[in-house]
Structures are given as C-alpha cells and as structure tokens.
C-alpha cells in the first residue's frame, strides 16, 4: 500500500508551525494525528514504516517525530536509535505513540532516545500540549545553539583582528628598537619605551594565538592528515625557534634517527604542537641551559621528545597541566606570557591525530614531553 500523501492544513497557521514526521503502520492513526495537529498549522509528513521514515528524514529533517513503538520489521526503538546515531538528526525530539502501556515498553522506548511517551488512544488536548512543549524546548535549544555560534564567531573575528594589529605593532617595535641600537645617539628613554611596547604586544599576541588555537581544537575542526616525516617536522620547529633561543642564550640541539619516521598527521596541527612544546621549553629555561629534541622510531609509533633543564613540575602540576588556563608552579624566566592554554591545545590536537602526549618530570629536575604518533603504515 502506498503511504498517504503529506497532510498540509492551513487553518490559522501560527508563527510556531513546524514539520512533524508521524510514523505509524496504521494509516488511519496518521490521519487522526494529522487532523489534530494540522489544524494548528503544522506540516504533517507521514510514514507507514521505519524504512520510509528514515527516507523522509534523509530528504529533509523535521522539527519533531511522533513514532509508533510496535511496528513490523524495524520497530520504533530501532528507528529512534538510528535517529540518535545520526549527527544531523540527533537533536530532533521523538515522542512515542503506542497502544502498549506496559512499563517495560515505556522504559525501553525512553532508553532508546525518546523524550516522551503517549498511550493510544490519546487525548487530543494532551497530545497538543506535549507536542507544543517539545517544540518549544527544541526552539529554545536551537536559539541557544545559534547564540553560542554567534558568540564564537564574534570572538574569533575579534581575536583574528587583534592578532593582525598586534603582529604589526610588535614588528614596528622590533624595527624601532633595532634602529635605535644602531643609532649614534643613545636615547635610553625611547629604547625603554620600545622595549615596553615589544613586551606588551608579545604577551597579547601570545594569548590571542593560543586562544584561536584552543577555539579551533574545541570545535573539532577536521584535520587533513597526510603522511609526514616527524623528524622533518621536528627539525623545522627547532629551526624556527633558534632566534628566540639565541636571545635567551639557550642551546637547542636535535637528535634525529636514521630509521623511517613517517606518521599520519595534519602538518599544521603538528607544527602547532611542536611549536607550543618548544616555546614552553624556552619560556621556562634559564640562560645557558640545554634543550634537547630527540626523535625515535619504535615498532608501532614514532616519538618526538623535548627535554629541558627547567624547574620541572610538581605532582600537583602534572595532575592539572592539560587543563585549560591551568596555572602551574613554574614561571617563565624572561617575562614571557603564560596563558595556561598551550598544553591543553597540544593534547587536543595530538589526540585528534590518534596520538598521545606524555610528560616525565620531577620538581627541580626539568621536564621531558613526548609526542607519540602511530607509524603511517599502522594508522587506520
């Protein structure tokens, strides 16, 4: 039997009209529900079985699903499970309609993802009230989700613009300080002002960069993983930090293996991870200290270890070092900014690449961070 055509009644259509998918193996039941809710201006989408309901969902997700529990073939619980498993459908409220009033059936329906259960034959006023409640809740959730997205977009725009302006400010201050260092007349006051600008812009720029990276990690941006040499990535990261190391009079060395170090990783994310860990090593190391970067290939993974001779971490530090905005006992040795975001970002990005971050440290004895990623040949 062909399913009945969609029922669209337009009597006094309210501003809160919605698309409602009604799933029942008895067309007469769909007609009754459609008659009640169609008068309120809702668009009724009929489906006489589970497979048809899933096809209707795929064409255009509704605002609400009224679902019969006991149907031949795919029953209501299985349909509800499939709805909840699909990221595009998981927030659609499902109200079960069933003649079965056994408590076990009700519990099973709610555990499968239903938000309410109405026993047939139903009272029209009760049906309308429960439908209105679920539609109102969904509308509120949708508005809240949109507000959060708008907030994140606004903060992202502000942070991006700040990053650009701060970068320009920092570069200008650097050029001004370098020019004054070469000038014949030594204007100490102007040099101090340039240093102040450079320091402040550096702190703000560091925070904005980490804020943006953390926001990206929070929103699960899809990583574009490709085969990349971890040794090559580590060498590039060490090269980029050499100027900062020179200014603090730190010795950064790298030890690379002859074995293959290919991993499956997102190049940008991997650069962010290594840059954060190296920046931390420089930040917390005193002049004259050694920082060793070592890449090792194991049977199923490749490790990149970054070892410093800084103050190390206490047991309390290690328990919370990967939390956002965690303030640890060690302080930067050169007045660098410390937002508490870096390690949080590192862990999120490494785990998104199916890897792990390890820390071996004792207070007063430095720290060794290990980024462990699976060999490209073993990544699935």
Over residues 236-273, the pLDDT tens digits come to 989 888 878 888 899 999 999 888 899 999 888 898 88
Answer yes or no: do 209 and 269 share one domain.
no
Answer yes or no: do 69 and 185 share one domain.
no
User: Of the ranges 27-41, 202-216, 282-296, 300-314, which one carries the lowest mean pLDDT score?
Assistant: 202-216
Which of 218, 248, 265 represents a domain boundary (last residue)? 218
Between 374 and 335, where is the model more confident?
A: 374
Q: Is the pLDDT of residue 275 over 90?
A: no
Quickly state the pLDDT bin for 32 (edges 50, 70, 90). Answer: very high
Q: Is residue 128 part of a domain?
A: no
Q: Is residue 35 part of a domain?
A: yes
- pLDDT, residue 99, reads 82
Q: Is residue 107 part of a domain?
A: yes
- pLDDT, residue 15, reads 42
Answer yes or no: do 67 and 94 share one domain.
yes
Q: Is the pLDDT of residue 83 over 70?
A: yes
- pLDDT, residue 161, reads 56
- pLDDT, residue 164, reads 57
Between 88 and 203, where is the model more confident?
A: 88
Quick check: bond before 103 cis, omega within 30? Answer: no
Q: Give me the domain span that covers residue 202.
A: 149-218
- pLDDT, residue 352, reads 86
- CATH number for the domain including 18? 3.40.50.2300
Q: Is residue 59 part of a domain?
A: yes
- CATH number for the domain including 317? 3.30.565.10
368 vs 358: CA distance, rounded Å: 8
149 vs 9: CA distance, rounded Å: 34
Answer yes or no: do 197 and 337 share one domain.
no
The torsion defined by the Cα of 22, 24, 26 and 31, in degrees rounded to 10, comes to -10
Answer yes or no: do 328 and 209 share one domain.
no
Q: Is the pLDDT of residue 219 over 90?
A: no
> Considering Cα of 142, then 147, then 148, then 152, what sign does the dihedral take?
positive
- pLDDT, residue 104, reads 83
Answer yes or no: do 99 and 153 share one domain.
no
Answer yes or no: do 258 and 354 share one domain.
yes
Answer yes or no: do 198 and 317 share one domain.
no
Which of 218, 244, 273 represents a domain boundary (last residue)? 218
Highest mean pLDDT among 186-200, 249-263, 313-327: 249-263
Average confidence (pLDDT) over 334-361: 76
Instruction: Single out the residue of 84, 86, 88 nearest to residue 110, CA to CA.
Output: 84
Q: Is residue 142 part of a domain?
A: no
**pTM for this model (two decimals):** 0.47
Answer yes or no: do 89 and 110 share one domain.
yes
Q: Is residue 131 part of a domain?
A: no
Q: Is residue 3 part of a domain?
A: no
Q: Which residue matches tokens 């410390």? A: 338
266 vs 376: CA distance, rounded Å: 12
Q: Indicate the length of the chain as a whole number.
A: 380
Q: Which residue matches tokens 């589970």? A: 50
Answer yes or no: do 271 and 368 share one domain.
yes
Task: Write the CB contacts of 203 (distance below 8 Å, at least 6 apart in sequence).
Answer: 336, 337
Average confidence (pLDDT) over 361-380: 84
Answer yes or no: do 247 and 161 share one domain.
no
Quickly state the pLDDT bin for 37 (edges 50, 70, 90). Answer: very high
- Number of structural domains the chain divides into: 3
Answer yes or no: do 234 and 348 share one domain.
yes
Quickly state the pLDDT bin for 1 (edges 50, 70, 90). Answer: very low
Q: Is residue 1 part of a domain?
A: no
Quickly state the pLDDT bin for 314 (edges 50, 70, 90). Answer: confident
Which of 122, 138, 166 represents a domain boundary (last residue)? 122
96-143 confidence digits (pLDDT tens): 988 877 788 888 888 999 999 988 888 899 999 999 999 999 989 888
């Amino acid at each position: 039997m062909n399913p009945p055509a969609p029922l669209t009644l337009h009597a006094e259509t309210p501003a809160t009209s919605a698309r409602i998918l009604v799933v029942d193996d008895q067309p007469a039941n769909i007609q009754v529900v459609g008659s009640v809710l169609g008068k309120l201006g809702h668009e009724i989408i009929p489906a006489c079985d589970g497979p048809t309901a899933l096809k209707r969902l795929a064409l255009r997700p509704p605002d609400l699903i009224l679902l019969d529990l006991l149907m031949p073939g795919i029953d209501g619980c299985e349909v509800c499970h499939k709805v909840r498993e699909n990221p595009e459908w998981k927030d659609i409220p499902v109200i079960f309609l069933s003649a079965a009033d056994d408590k076990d059936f009700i519990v099973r329906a709610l555990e499968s993802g239903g938000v309410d259960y109405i026993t047939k034959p139903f009272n029209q006023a009760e049906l309308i009230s429960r439908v209105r409640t679920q539609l109102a809740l969904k509308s509120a959730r949708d508005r809240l989700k949109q507000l959060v997205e708008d907030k994140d977009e606004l903060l992202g725009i502000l942070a991006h613009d700040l990053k650009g302006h701060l970068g320009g400010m920092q570069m200008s201050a650097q050029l001004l300080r370098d020019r004054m260092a070469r000038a014949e007349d030594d204007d100490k006051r102007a040099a101090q002002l340039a240093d102040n600008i450079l320091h402040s812009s550096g702190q703000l720029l560091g925070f904005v960069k980490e804020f943006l990276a953390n926001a990206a990690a929070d929103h699960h941006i899809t990583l574009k993983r490709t085969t990349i040499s971890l040794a090559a990535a580590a060498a590039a990261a060490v090269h980029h930090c050499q100027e900062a190391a020179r200014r603090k009079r730190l010795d950064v060395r790298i030890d690379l293996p002859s074995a293959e170090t290919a991993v499956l990783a997102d190049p940008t994310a991997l650069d962010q991870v290594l840059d954060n860990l190296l920046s931390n090593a420089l930040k917390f190391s005193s002049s004259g200290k050694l920082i060793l970067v070592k890449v090792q290939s194991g049977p199923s993974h490749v490790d990149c270890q970054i070892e410093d001779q800084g103050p190390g971490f206490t047991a309390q530090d290690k328990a919370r070092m990967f939390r956002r905005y965690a303030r640890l006992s060690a302080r930067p040795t050169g007045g660098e900014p410390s937002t508490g975001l870096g390690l949080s970002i590192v862990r999120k990005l490494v785990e998104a690449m199916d890897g792990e971050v390890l820390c071996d440290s004792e207070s007063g004895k430095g720290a060794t961070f290990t980024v462990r990623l699976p060999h490209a040949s073993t990544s699935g």
